Structure formats: structure tokens, C-alpha cells
């Protein structure tokens, strides 16, 4: 999920706590004389493909020989997809630029309509209060489980609208974005500015092993220094789906700071007033909930607000994780000169959520959102369709979902079993598996 203050090209200088990112043009650092050899299985034999480092030239040398070793797993580990007669390397620099993608997107997709954005807020708020009224009226154990799932999903929808405020895709008015963002996020116990700033860091550094935020890979050294209980909880359901509140207080392993503290490593000095404001709003919401517990009783408050809040947290962790993990072929993570804003953004994944797509404002169209977070959510689907011809194989079409995206739980479980850490060395790395976990 982005940067609120990115330029029209989707780029902005990093916070001073990070080194300024360098965009690596395709094959800029490649040695023209480099020879790339790929191997493909074909029935009872295999072939070798020989190509130079030049993008415009491609010479092929194919030799058939008896098949002795099955190379599929090796190619998969290296992030290569075999497609017909050619090998596509997921970690290779793309043959297009960010401006090429931008040029393919219709101009009206960049237009922000504050009235349309507010209409979604009104819709969601009406549904939230309507669901609460219906559940309180019937007050029986047939209705409560249905209410919890529905209301938790609506809390997640409120979060996505607040997330758009943080990106500046809600409107062109910073004050309106801030007011709406604080009301939406504080109502579900999210510190608006604190989260907005760390989320900006996530977008500006996505795909970078060290600088990314939230569900970024742990290096092998950090991972192996974790105690066994932490390792088990991190990769055993349902605990990873309850990680978000903990992340707000203490971030990920290997990083320090809190989203509530103005002097945290997450923020620079001129952001401290914003963080204090958001923490004050968060505290006010906690006070309101405490007051409501005295009025209606803690059990009723737990049923009306507490359980839906937990469902919302699960939605947030599920969606955040699966937009960056769990593809059939392992996706690359970068360090040093291999990282760029474009290459990092291209490792994100779109997901289909069935009926929930409209409810949570098409956040599943995540690739274009990551590259251009200033595009309003109601234009993301159209923008994605327009960009696909440019993206080519770098866009991975999401699997179609039924009415409810239950199949994604299987994707999550498989990823949790094998995507544990990355090597401490190397500028292009892939997830490795802890066989003892």
C-alpha cells in the first residue's frame, strides 16, 4: 500500500535517514560483452540459449542433448520463468521506464474528485452505523458472527479511504486529506500521520531488503538471532494476521521506533508536530471507547467494536502480505545499485478479492497503485488495463476469485511455510526456507 507527496512521476527524495535512491536504467551497468546462457527442458532433451547483454540484439544458439538433470527447480529458485523458447528473468531490469508506463495511462485517471471521494466516505460510514444498529437490535448469536465479518471488512474499507488521504489521492486539498484521514484512521485506532509517514517510506523503498517497511524480508543474520518462539509466531497462523498493532508500537525485527512517538527513528524533526497530532487523536478515540464501555458495558463494546477491529487487523495484514509475497515464482528483493523505484514496484502483486473488490475500493490493483500512488482508487482498474501492454511479462495477472477470496488463505499458508529470510549478501536475492521451522 504508498507515498502521499510523490511528484507527478511518482518519485520524491527519500527521508534524510535513508540514502537517496538511484534509479538503474535497464542494462546500464551491464557489460556489453556479457554472455547469458539459459537452459530449458524439452521433452526428452534440453536446449541452451545464448544471448548478449545488448537489449536490441539477440542471437540464439540451440543445441539438443539427452536430458540428464531436471533444471526446473534451479530456474525457479533464480526467479526465472520458462516461456516457450525464451527465458524471462524476473530480476532483470525492465526494457521500459516509469515515464513509459505513465504515458500509457489516460489523463483522466490522474484527476482527483473530492466530491466522489467524500461520497465513498459517506457510503462506508452509513454502512458501518447501519450494521452496528442491526446487530445491536437483534443481539443474538446467529447475527453476531455475520456482523463481525461484515463490520471488520467495513473497518478495512475505512482504512483504505484514509490510506488514500495519506497518499494525496483523495483530493488536491492537503487540509481536507488531513481532516478526513484523521477521522477515518483514528476511528479504527490508526495514528494517521505516524502510519502515513512509514507507509511513504514503504512505497519509496519497496523491494529494498534493508530500507523497506512492513513485511520486508529479514536478513539471514537477523532471522537466525531471533528466538525460536518469535520465529514460530511470525510464521504460524493466525499470529501473523494479528501483527499490525505490534508493528505500530515497535516495527519489524531489526528496526526500532514507534508510530506514536515523535522522536522515533521513523520521523525527521519537521514531522514531529504531525505525529503528536495523530497520537492525540488516537488517544481521544481510546478515551471515547473507554467511555462507551461504561455506558453499554465492556462485553457489548467488545461485540460491536472489539471483534470487528480484530477482523480489520487480519484484513490489513493479509492484504499487505499477499501484495508482496506468495507468487508461484519467487520474486526478487534488491540491494545497492540493483534497486530502483521501478524495479522494486514491479515486484508487487495484484490480487482479486471477488465481491470484496468494490467494498475495499479496488486496493487489489496494487502494481499501478505502488508505482503511481497519487491515482485515485476509482481509476486504478482502468489505469492497470492501460498499462498492461507496457508492463508485459512484468505484470502478473491475478488468479480470479470466487465471491469470497478464501483461496488466498492457501496462498498465505504456502508462503509462510517457505518464505523466511534472505541471504546477507548479494544485490539480487530471493526468499530462502528454514527447514527446521
Q: Give the pairing of strands 65-66 and 45-52.
A: antiparallel
CB atoms within 10 A of CB 424: 14
Q: Give me the sign of the Cα torsion angle 219, 225, 227, 228.
A: positive
- pLDDT tens digit at each of 437 positions of the chain: 444 444 444 444 444 444 444 443 443 344 444 444 444 444 444 443 444 443 333 433 333 333 333 333 333 344 554 333 357 788 899 999 999 999 999 999 999 999 999 999 999 999 999 999 999 999 999 999 999 999 999 999 999 999 999 999 999 999 999 999 999 999 999 999 999 999 999 999 999 999 998 888 899 999 999 999 999 899 999 999 999 999 999 888 888 899 999 999 899 999 999 999 999 999 999 999 999 999 999 999 999 999 999 999 999 999 999 999 988 888 999 999 999 999 999 999 999 999 999 999 999 999 999 999 999 999 999 999 999 999 999 999 999 999 999 999 999 999 999 999 999 999 999 999 998 87
Going by DSSP bridges, is the β-strand pair 35-42/80-83 parallel, antiparallel, or unpaired? Answer: unpaired
Write out the H or E segment, with its range, that includes residue 371.
Answer: helix 366-371
Residue 330 phi/psi, 5-degree rounding, is -65, 135
Alpha-carbon distance 128 to 123, whole Å? 9
Residues contacting residue 10 through CB under 8 Å, at least 6 positions apart:
3, 98, 102, 341, 371, 372, 373, 374
Sheet holding 35-42, edge to edge: 35-42, 45-52, 65-66
Domain-wise residue ranges, the chain: 1-26+93-437, 35-89
Which helix (H) or strand (E) element contains residue 428? Answer: strand 428-429
Q: Judge contact between 421 and 220, C-beta under 8 A.
A: yes
Q: For residues 189 and 156, give the distance between their C-alpha atoms in angstroms, rounded to a whole number.
A: 12
Amino acid at each position: 500500500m504508498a507515498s502521499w507527496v510523490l511528484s507527478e512521476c511518482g518519485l520524491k527524495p527519500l527521508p534524510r535517514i535513508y540514502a537517496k535512491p538511484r534509479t538503474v536504467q535497464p542494462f546500464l551497468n551491464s557489460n556489453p560483452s556479457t554472455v547469458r546462457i539459459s537452459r530449458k527442458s524439452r521433452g526428452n532433451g534440453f536446449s541452451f540459449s545464448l544471448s548478449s547483454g545488448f537489449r536490441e540484439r539477440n542471437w540464439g544458439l540451440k543445441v539438443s542433448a539427452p536430458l540428464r538433470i531436471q533444471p526446473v527447480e534451479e530456474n525457479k529458485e533464480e526467479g526465472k520463468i520458462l516461456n516457450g523458447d525464451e527465458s524471462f528473468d524476473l530480476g532483470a531490469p525492465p526494457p521500459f521506464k516509469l515515464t513509459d508506463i505513465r504515458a500509457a495511462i489516460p489523463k483522466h485517471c490522474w484527476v482527483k474528485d473530492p466530491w466522489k471521494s467524500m461520497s465513498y466516505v459517506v457510503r462506508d460510514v452509513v454502512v458501518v452505523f447501519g450494521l452496528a444498529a442491526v446487530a445491536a437490535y437483534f443481539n443474538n448469536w446467529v447475527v453476531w458472527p455475520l456482523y463481525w465479518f461484515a463490520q471488520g471488512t467495513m473497518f478495512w474499507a475505512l482504512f483504505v479511504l484514509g490510506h488514500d488521504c495519506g497518499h494525496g489521492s483523495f483530493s488536491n486539498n492537503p487540509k481536507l486529506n488531513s481532516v478526513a484521514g484523521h477521522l477515518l484512521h483514528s476511528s479504527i485506532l490508526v495514528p494517521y500521520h505516524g502510519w502515513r509517514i512509514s507507509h511513504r517510506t514503504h512505497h519509496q523503498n519497496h523491494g529494498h531488503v534493508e530500507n523497506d517497511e512492513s513485511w520486508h524480508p529479514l536478513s539471514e543474520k537477523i532471522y537466525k538471532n531471533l528466538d525460536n518462539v518469535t520465529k514460530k509466531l511470525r510464521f504460524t497462523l493466525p499470529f501473523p494476521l494479528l501483527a499490525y498493532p505490534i508493528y505500530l508500537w515497535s516495527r519489524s525485527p531489526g528496526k526500532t521506533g514507534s508510530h506514536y512517538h515523535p522522536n522515533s527513528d521513523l520521523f525527521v524533526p519537521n514531522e514531529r508536530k504531525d505525529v503528536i497530532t495523530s497520537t492525540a487523536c488516537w488517544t481521544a478515540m481510546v478515551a471515547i471507547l473507554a467511555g462507551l464501555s461504561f455506558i453499554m458495558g465492556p462485553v457489548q463494546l467488545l461485540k460491536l467494536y472489539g471483534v470487528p477491529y480484530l477482523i480489520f487487523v487480519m484484513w490489513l495484514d493479509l492484504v499487505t502480505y499477499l501484495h508482496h509475497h506468495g507468487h508461484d515464482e519467487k520474486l526478487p528483493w534488491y540491494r545497492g545499485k540493483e534497486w530502483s523505484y521501478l524495479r522494486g514496484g514491479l515486484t508487487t502483486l495484484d490480487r482479486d478479492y471477488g465481491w470484496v473488490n468494490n467494498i475495499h475500493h479496488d486496493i487489489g490493483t496494487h502494481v499501478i497503485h505502488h508505482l503511481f500512488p497519487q491515482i485515485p482508487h476509482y481509476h486504478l482498474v482502468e489505469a492497470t488495463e492501460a498499462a498492461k501492454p507496457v508492463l508485459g511479462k512484468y505484470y502478473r495477472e491475478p488468479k480470479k476469485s470466487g465471491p469470497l477470496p478464501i483461496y488466498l488463505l492457501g496462498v498465505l499458508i504456502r508462503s509462510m511455510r517457505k518464505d523466511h529470510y534472505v541471504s546477507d549478501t548479494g544485490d539480487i536475492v530471493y526468499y530462502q526456507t528454514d527447514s527446521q521451522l
